[in-house]
Amino acid sequence: MPPWSSEPRPALPMPGIRASSSRPNSPLEGMQQALHGGVVWSNLSGTCTRGMGFAVMLTSWILAWLHVVSAICWLGGGIMFAFVVGPALARLSPASSGEFLVKVVPRVVMFFQVFAGLTILFGVLLLYNMGGLGLLSPSSSYGLDLTLGATFAIVAFVESEFVAVPIQLRAVRLIREMLAAGGHQPPAEFPRTVRLATITATVTVVLLILASIFMVGAGFY
C-alpha cells in the first residue's frame, strides 16, 4: 500500500502480544486486552506476586523477632521475680522488704504487663500474617505444637494478669497502708501474700517454659 493512500493501515502485531479477536471500544480497553493477552501482563503479575511474597516474608520476619524478644523479656522477668526477688523478700527485715516492695514491685508489675501483652499481640499478628487460624490444626505435628504452645501462652497470660499481678499489688498495698498509718510492722497476712506472689510467679514461668518448648518444637517442622 503506498504511503500516500488514505485507506486505513492494518495494525501490526507487537512482539510477544497476541491479537484480540474483538475490536476494542476505547484505547484503554485495547491496552487492557494487549496486557492480558501478552507477556507484558505476565511480567507485571509475576513482579507483583514476587513483591507481595517478599513483603509477607519481611513482615513475618519482623513480627517473629518482636514476638520472640517480648517473650524473652516476659519469661526473664518472671524467672527473676520467682527465683530471686520473691525468696530475697522473705529473708529481708520488714522495713527493708516494705521499702523494696513500694519502690520496685510496681515497676516490675508494669514490666510484666507490657511484655506479656506485646508477646500475645505480636503472636496473633504473626499468626494472621502467616495464614491465620488454619495453622492451628492438630492434624499435623507442626499444627499440634503450635496449638499447644499458643494455649500455654494464653493460659500464662490469663494467670499472670488475673492471679499473679493482683497478689503482687496486694502486697504493695498492705505496705502502703502500714506506712500511711505510721506503723513499722507489716500486717499478719503480709508474709503469706509474699509467698503467694512467689508461687503464682513460678506458675507463670512454668507455663511460659512449656509454651516455649512447643513453639520451638514447631519450628523444626
Report the chain's mean pLDDT, rounded to a whole number. 78
pLDDT tens digits, one per residue of 110-129: 998 999 999 999 999 988 88
pLDDT of residue 12: 46
> 139 lies in a domain?
yes
pLDDT greater than 50 at residue 218: yes
Q: Is residue 197 part of a domain?
A: yes
Q: Are 186 and 94 in contact (CB under 8 A)?
A: yes
Cell of 85: 526477688
Q: What is the pLDDT of residue 217?
A: 84
Between 41 and 196, whose confidence is greater? Answer: 196
Closest of 104, 102, 108 to residue 179, by C-alpha: 102
Range of the structural domain that residue 143 is part of: 64-218
- pTM across the whole model: 0.71
| pLDDT at position 47 | 52
- Are 126 and 163 spatial neighbours (Cβ–Cβ below 8 Å)? no
The count of domains in the chain is 1
